[in-house]
A and B are shown apart, each in its own frame.
Chain A
Amino acid sequence: MPVAASAIYFLNLRGDVLINRLYRDDVGGNMVDAFRTHIMQTKELGTCPVRQIGGCSFFYMRISNVYIVIVVSSNANVACAFKFVVEAVALFKSYFGGAFDEDAIRNNFVLIYELLDEIMDFGYPQNLSPEILKLYITQEGVRSPFSSKPSDKPVPNATLQVTGAVGWRREGLVYKKNEVFLDIVESVNLLMSSKGSVLRCDVTGKILMKCFLSGMPDLKLGLNDKIGLEKESQLKSRPAKSGKTIELDDVTFHQCVNLTRFNSEKTVSFVPPDGEFELMKYRITEGVNLPFRVLPTIKELGRTHMEVNVKVKSVFGAKMFALGVVIKIPVPKQTAKTSFQVTSGRAKYNASIDCIVWKIRKFPGQTEPTMSAEVELISTMTERKPWTRPPIQMEFQVPMFTASGLRVRFLKVWEKSGYNTVEWVRYITKAGSYEIRC
């Protein structure tokens, strides 16, 4: 059954109900008490996000200082429920202008009630697109650059748009200057063994789009991905141009993309929502260009002394540079004293996370700064557990670099009025979970 929820509760960290809505009659109003006594007040919290208590099941997620709890008593669609929560939170954030926390809920409870009534009916999720909902659910609490209309009179064709085939874009938009911004954001996930062999490596990328386009434009996006290019050359019956092509392992698209067309023609065509949205996500596991290599050597000298040497090599173009590089090198809990030498940036021992934190604000390509540290440990009398050596973790951002090598080849915009569009494309690669075991 695609029912996703019988009731939804928003609780603060103490377990007080901030707001709740019962959608169906099959769960009691006090079921949340069971959640409090059996999950919140026990060690169970955080051990499993789906739990059965009595005849009811609870799905919960924590978002900032709020627990969102869904209660059901039937064989509900859990995937649907969690995705609904994620999207509802995104919707609330877009209404409140960013933050979603206990205060935001208290300050907007009327609005939230109204939205909860609209986005789910009898446990079935309905339209959750912020663009459309903002057409007719308006409150003074709303801050949105797109809601230019006066709030008290509902847009006459709002209902058609909520239910329409293009349920994410309203009609009659006019912009003086038609612009599209594309951001290709890639996160590199790496797990490397202490010996330097890659255990797991993948790139999860997303293409974020910001559209300021008039009317109902049709867009078509071309990337240098292998399948798309092959299909194209096949259709135009001419050999593919040589050059680097990328093999995408998997792609998922925003609901605006015509999936059937993608399946048959391998083209990404869509009518975009207005404003900012995530057009697509992709994943690549082959041929990833790792921006950094980390070479750690950690020597435990006796019971109270350690030597830590870390060399970080940037392997992207010499003209580029990375920003906000942070390397967290774990040290044992009983660290007493540390001293370092770094050839670039700054290092500090952070006792609360048991790490040496080495920060380099601007890190040029093709360089290899090093850090060497001496760590003294408190000697303990008792035989202690051997140190578990958590992995080294790294954070960074490399602008104008894609770890996958993905490039936008074209972005075509058609609109019946035939206006010209300006397109802007940016690339950035960030660290996802970039871990090196040591």
Chain B
Amino acid sequence: MSGHDSKYFSTTKKGEIPELKEELNSQYKDKRKDAVKKVIAAMTVGKDVSSLFTDVVNCMQTENLELKKLVYLYLINYAKSQPDLAILAVNTFVKDSQDPNPLIRALAVRTMGCIRVDKITEYLCDPLQRCLKDDDPYVRKTAAICVAKLFDINAELVEDRGFLESLKDLISDNNPMVVANAVAALAEIQENSSRPIFEITSHTLSKLLTALNECTEWGQVFILDALSRYKAEDAREAENIMERVTPRLQHANCAVVLSAVKMILQQMELITSTDVVRNLCKKMAPPLVTLLSAEPEIQYVALRNINLIVQKRPTILAHEIKVFFCKYNDPIYVKMEKLEIMIKLASDRNIDQVLLEFKEYATEVDVDFVRKAVRAIGRCAIKLERAAERCISVLLELIKIKVNYVVQEAIIVIKDIFRRYPNTYESIIATLCESLDTLDEPEAKASMIWIIGEYAERIDNADELLESFLENFPEEPAQVQLQLLTATVKLFLKKPTEGPQQMIQAVLNNATVETDNPDLRDRAYIYWRLLSTDPEAAKDVVLAEKPVIGDDSNLLDSSLLDELLANIATLSSVYHKPPEAFVTRAKTAQRTDEEDYPEGSDAGYSESPSQAGGASPPTTSDAHYSAQRKLAPGSASPPPPASVPDLLGDLIGLDNSATGPVDQPAAPAGPPLPILLPASAGQGLQISAQLTRLDSQVFYSLLFENNTQITLDGFMIQFNKNTFGLAAAGPLQVQPLQPGSAVNTLLPMVVFQNMSQGPPSSLLQVAVKNNQQPVWYFNDKIPMHVFFTDDGRMERANFLETWRSLPDSNEVSKDFPAIVLTNVEAVLERLAATNMFFIAKRKHANQDVFYFSTKIPRGIPFLIELTTVIGSPGLKCAVKTPNIDMAPLFFEALETLLKE
């Protein structure tokens, strides 16, 4: 006989709200209770029942605990939308907080802490103070958490009223749960505060380690997590701590185990004795393995953490590789993680077993998993020199099965193996060549072509093989075209006979005349010139020995790894990213919320005269805010440039108009430029710079600040080769810079001057020198949108036609989960200002789809489709362009544009 609450969800014929109102004011208790349940049911399904606020609050004064809880629940949800009416509840709260029943006292404090309305918060302080000293541990443990809630709403209030001291006292409480909650609250407050609040001394440490034995499982997690920040003084202390923490490894709760592991790993850093370390590793292995028999979601968390742990301490699980073998029914995310760990644990000792497993996985159904398994074999070959041959024979066996994607993946990894062990395994090329015509993925094709070119002299029919690819040269994706070009040149240099000569003619012709791709064209021109001027030099360049590649299966660098290990069991360890990479500090958002706080607190103080004796609140809060502002990144903006040098700059700019463009516009008064060379790195010279587009021209806007003791002069600038071939159009015009002064300048730029090879990248390397200092190098990012030209607007029909005319392989898309579009008009305007032109909009389900066009120099169009739900985060961008290699740069630019 389970509950029958579902009846409360059924709707009635009459208007619902008026009926509920009537029932809430009924004289019968039961009817009122039922009505409140109906209200809660309506709230659950998302109906707005906030208009019943007064009626529901009227039901609050009741002996019935269940009803009381429901009313409180309603209050938590709606108090914020009805702050003025919420005050009606205060009296009952305060009364409840003195109720003889500890459950009700705790409930009142717990609920008040959840209602984030200033007026309620004011009244919370006195009950909270009482409850922190309550006789009943249940009330105290609730009050402890409530302090953290209050700190989140109003940090100063917590400090002013001395709640932090009361909280610290609770660490010595005789009840373990109170201790645990107090620790959790203090740890959280510490995390959000820059002042030292919760410092763990060796005294607190030993007290907390003792409390660990009596805590609930969750309490143990709170304590272990808080203690993992503690730095032991020496190896002896560290050993002591670990001795008391190791029993936790036997706990049934995975969170306790992981927190214990975290703490042990931290303390282990101090241990020098290899015996002790070995012993600890031995103790940690079994509990980690046991985590793999938990629910798959928990397994996933454990595996992501184990991935980190084996990078730091490979010995822990060196003998346990078998437990990471995939079960047929494991969810795909578990399998993928297991595979990753298997690669990390693979060694000469176990490689045979591991290879058998990988081979088995390579015949499973899930394509992604199969590919990863094939790639894993290649990674093992690269990692373990002695096993490379066995790995290759497994790859060859897999190729023989002739499953298309297996073959292609195998060829991609074999190319890497050739790079790792040159001149060792070329005998297998013949086998590879058999699968030539089944290749249809660009990466696999490119890899195969690279192999043919690299070993052209050993493949008798290399010319025929390449020729077969050359037939559809114009249709191939850029990646394949580039490889074809290079491979043909290699072939020609190795076998300068008639056949290859004709081929090279055809390829060079194709790649220079018939293509729009500047990379391909440039590479072809370089080869052409090399070959026509000095074939020997061409040989030295094209056939030069390549550096040997290494094993990439341990990717994280050690400082990041250490940071992640300090975050075991948290999101950070699952994402393998440091916390600041994904936590958008809620603090900043809160600050704006709290801007109106001083007013509120004034009102509060006038009502509670007991506070008048304290420090005057508005001043303290002002000081607090100004301190906050100092920390904010925006306030780091440079001091306004002195007017005199500015004028001088203009004058000199005019004087030298012969070299620089005459119509050099004044520096725009926009947001401050990003600092690229901080004063600390530039011996007192600080450079901020950014590319901008002004009047259809690209400029490099620079700000020099001289914080040295001497005058700096003779500034010169140089740009390294980059994707867009950006270079200065004229010399840098900066007059001698006095100590303590700053100057803005706009450097006109040209494109397609010094283009770099390789995949497109937004990196811009800049060198600046002057007569007094060494040469400074710094990196900047090229925001692609500065290249968007004014003529990028397309008519609808034209857009559709271009869209259709481009093959699907020229379309890429990317998700921007963090981007929210709210004000569409403003966004469109902003995009249009950067020459990204709006074309059309349509609705698709609840999503809005926008179309844009833009163009970059040399007339390369970009057709853009943005899909999003207005007002909620997440935006998908699809781009179609003849020059698909540029898409990543485009996405980068779009992200900056939309984030502004």
**Residues of A that sit less than 8 Å from B by CB:** 1-3, 16-20, 22, 24-26, 30, 33-34, 37-38, 46-50, 52-55, 57, 59, 61, 72-80, 82-84, 86, 96-97, 99, 103-104, 106-111, 113-114, 117, 121-122, 124-128, 136, 139-141, 143, 154, 158-160, 162-165, 167, 189, 191, 193, 199-200, 202, 204, 249-255, 258-260, 262-263, 278, 280-281, 283, 385-386, 388-391, 393, 433, 435, 437
Q: For B255, B325, B328, B401, which residue has the most chain A Cβ atoms within 10 angstroms?
A: B255
B244 cross-chain contacts in A, Cβ below 8 A: 260
Please name the 3 residue pairs, one residue from A and one from B, whose CB atoms are nearest each other, closest first. Answer: A141-B3, A54-B873, A250-B286
Q: Are A83 and B5 in contact (CB under 8 A)?
A: no
Q: Which residue of A lies closest to B45 (CB)?
A: A17
- Do A160 and B137 have beta carbons less than 8 Å apart? yes
Q: Give the distance to chain B from A195, nearest Cβ to Cβ, in Å.
A: 10
* 10 sample A-B contacts, Cβ–Cβ < 8 Å, listed by A number: A49-B333, A54-B817, A75-B572, A110-B3, A111-B3, A124-B145, A124-B218, A163-B178, A255-B252, A389-B363
In angstroms, how far is the closest chain A Cβ from the Cβ of B564? 11
Question: CB distance A106 to B103 under 8 Å?
Answer: no
Distance of B474 from chain A, by nearest CB (Å): 30
* Interchain CB contact under 8 A, B44 and A109: yes
Closest to B248 in A: A259
Q: Which of these binds chain A: B66-74, B372-380, B487-495, B699-707?
A: B66-74
Which residues in B have their C-beta under 8 angstroms from that of A78? 301, 569-571, 573-574
Bound together, the chains give a CA A250 to CA B869 distance in angstroms of: 50
Give which listed residue, A83, A108, A280, contacts B255 with CB less than 8 A.
Answer: A83
Q: Restricting to B679-738, which residues have a CB under 8 Å from any CB of A?
A: none
Task: Please determine whether A75 and B567 come into contact, CB atoms closer than 8 angstroms.
Answer: yes
**Interface SS majority for chain B:** helix
Q: Which of B41, B139, B327, B874 contacts A159 (CB 8 A)?
A: B139
Alpha-carbon distance A96/B5, docked complex (angstroms): 12
CB-nearest residue of chain B to A161: B138
Enumerate chain A residues within 8 angstroms of B175, measured Cβ to Cβ: 163-164
Q: Is the CB of A57 within 8 A of B582?
A: yes
Candidates A54, A96, A106; contact of B874 at CB < 8 Å? A54
Minimum C-beta distance from B868 to chain A (A)? 10
A160-B138 contact in complex given A86-B298, A143-B2, A154-B101, C-beta closer than 8 Å: yes
Q: Collect the chain B residues with CB atoms within 8 Å of residue A263's CB.
A: 246-247, 250
- Contacts A17-B44, A108-B5 known; A2 to B138 CB distance under 8 Å? no
User: Chain A contacts of B874 at CB under 8 A?
Assistant: 34, 37-38, 53-54
Question: Nearest-CB distance from B745 to chain A (Å)?
Answer: 38
Contact of A61 among B2, B297, B570, B583 (CB under 8 A): B297
Q: Which of A26, A72, A96, A162 contacts B138 (CB 8 A)?
A: A162
Interface bits B51-92 vs A (CB < 8 Å: 1, else 0): 000000000000001100110110010000000000000000
Contacts of B152 in A (CB 8 A): 24-25
Chain A contacts of B570 at CB under 8 A?
1, 75-78
Instruction: Tell me the bound Cα distance from A359 to B325 in angstroms.
Output: 28
Smallest CB–CB gap between A260 and chain B, Å?
5
- Tell me if B276 is interfacial: C-beta within 8 Å of chain A: no
| B222 close to A124 (CB less than 8 A) | yes
Collect the chain B residues with CB atoms within 8 Å of residue A113's CB.
40, 69-70, 73
Q: Is the Cβ of A121 less than 8 Å from the Cβ of B142?
A: yes
Decide if A259 touches B251 in the complex (CB within 8 Å): yes
Q: Is the CB of A106 within 8 A of B6?
A: yes
A163 touches B141 (CB 8 A): yes
Tell me whether B571 and A48 are in contact (CB under 8 A).
no
A49 contacts which chain B residues (CB < 8 A)? 296-297, 300, 333
Chain A residues within 8 Å of B758, by CB: none
Q: What residues on A are CB-neighbors of B329 within 8 Å?
A: 433
Cβ of B221 within 8 Å of any chain A Cβ, yes or no, is: yes
Query: Are B872 and A30 in contact, with the CB atoms below 8 A?
Result: yes
> In the assembly, what is the distance between CA of A191 and CA of B323, in Å?
11
In the complex, which residue of chain A has the Cβ closest to the Cβ of B331?
A: A46
Q: A30-B872, A388-B364 are in contact. List 13 more A-B contacts (CB 8 A).
A: A46-B333, A50-B574, A75-B572, A77-B259, A83-B254, A110-B40, A113-B69, A114-B66, A117-B110, A124-B145, A164-B177, A252-B257, A255-B253
Kindly list chain B residues whose C-beta atoms are within 8 Å of the C-beta of A200: 322-323, 325
**Closest CB of chain A to B65's CB: distance in Å?**
7
Q: How far is the CB of A393 from chain B (nearest CB, A)?
A: 8
B730 to chain A, nearest CB (A): 44
Interface code B294-314, partner A: CB below 8 Å = 1, 0 otherwise?
A: 011110111000000000000
Question: Which of B5, B110, B364, B567 gathers most chain A CB within 10 Å?
Answer: B5
Of A83, A96, A433, the contact of B327 (CB 8 Å cutoff): A433
Interface residues of B in 168-202 (CB under 8 A from A): 175-178, 181, 184, 187-188, 191
Q: Which residues of B contact A97 (CB under 8 A)?
A: 1-2
* Chain A residue contacts of B178, Cβ below 8 A: 163
Are the C-beta atoms of A2 and B213 separated by less than 8 Å? no
How far does the Cβ of B488 sit from chain A's closest Cβ, in whole Å? 33
B778 / chain A contacts, CB cutoff of 8 Å: none
Contacts of A80 on B, CB cut-off 8 Å? 218, 221, 255, 569
- The docked-state distance in angstroms from the alpha carbon of A160 to that of B142 is 13
Per-residue contact bits, chain B 542-581, to A (CB 8 Å; 1 contact, 0 not): 0000000000000000000000000101111111000100
Residues of A within 8 A of B259 (CB): 2, 77, 79
Q: Is the CB of B247 within 8 A of A259?
A: yes
B830 to chain A, nearest CB (A): 21
Q: Closest CB of chain B to A199's CB: distance in Å?
A: 6
Q: Does the CB pair B216–A79 fall under 8 Å? A: no
Contact bitstring B437-477, A, C-beta under 8 A = 1, else 0? 00000000000000000000000000000000000000000
B818 neighbours in A (Cβ, 8 Å): 54-55
How far, in angstroms, from A227 to B575 measured CA to CA in the complex? 39
> How far apart are A13's CB and chain B's nearest CB, in angstroms?
16
User: In whole angstroms, how far apart are the Cα atoms of A128 and B252 in the complex?
Assistant: 14
B217 close to A (CB within 8 Å): yes
Contact code string B199-220 (vs A, CB < 8 Å = 1, else 0): 0000000000000011011100
A37-B401 in contact (CB<8A): no
Q: Which of B37, B45, B218 has the most CB of A within 10 A?
A: B218
Alpha-carbon distance A136/B184, docked complex (angstroms) = 25
Please determine whether A77 and B297 come into contact, CB atoms closer than 8 angstroms: no
A126 CA to B332 CA, complexed, in Å: 33
* Closest A residue, CB atoms, query B818: A54
- Confirm or deny: B289 has a beta carbon within 8 angstroms of a beta carbon on chain A: yes
Answer whether A77 and B569 are a contact pair too, CB < 8 Å, given A83-B253, A117-B73.
Answer: yes
Note all chain B residues with C-beta closer than 8 A to A61: 295, 297
| Contact across chains for A103 and B3 when beta carbons are under 8 A apart | no
Q: B287 touching A388 by the CB < 8 A rule?
A: no
Q: Is B218 within 8 A of A126, CB to CB?
A: yes
B37 pairs with A110, CB closer than 8 A = yes
Which of A24, A165, A202 lies at the interface centre, i.e. has the most chain B CB atoms within 10 A of its CB? A165
Asked whether any CB of chain A lies closer than 8 Å to the CB of B293, the reply is yes
Q: Are B70 and A110 in contact (CB under 8 A)?
A: yes
C-alpha spacing A433/B334, complex, angstroms: 15
Cross-chain contact A79 with B255 (CB below 8 angstroms): yes
- Contact B297–A82 (Cβ < 8 Å): yes
Q: Distance in Å from the Cβ of A263 to the closest Cβ of chain B? A: 4
- In contact, B403 and A385 (Cβ under 8 angstroms): yes
Contact A127 B177 (CB under 8 A): yes
* B69–A114 touching, CB < 8 Å: yes
**Which residues of B are found within 8 Å of A53, using beta-carbon distances?**
817, 873-874
Q: How far is the CA of A285 from the CA of B570 in the complex (A)?
A: 30
Q: Say whether B188 contacts A1, CB under 8 Å.
A: yes
When each residue 474-486 of chain B gets 1 if its CB lies under 8 Å from chain A and 0 otherwise, what string results?
A: 0000000000000
Complex alpha-carbon distance, A262 and B246, angstroms: 11
**A59, B817: Cβ atoms closer than 8 Å:** no
Nearest A residue to B141 by beta-carbon distance?
A: A163
Residue in contact with B44 in the complex, picked from A20, A37, A74, A259, CB distance below 8 Å: A20
B9 at the interface (CB under 8 A from A): yes
Q: Is B586 an interface residue (CB 8 A)?
A: yes
- Which B residues are in CB contact (< 8 Å) with A74? 583, 586
Q: Which residues of A contact B225 (CB under 8 A)?
A: 1-2, 77
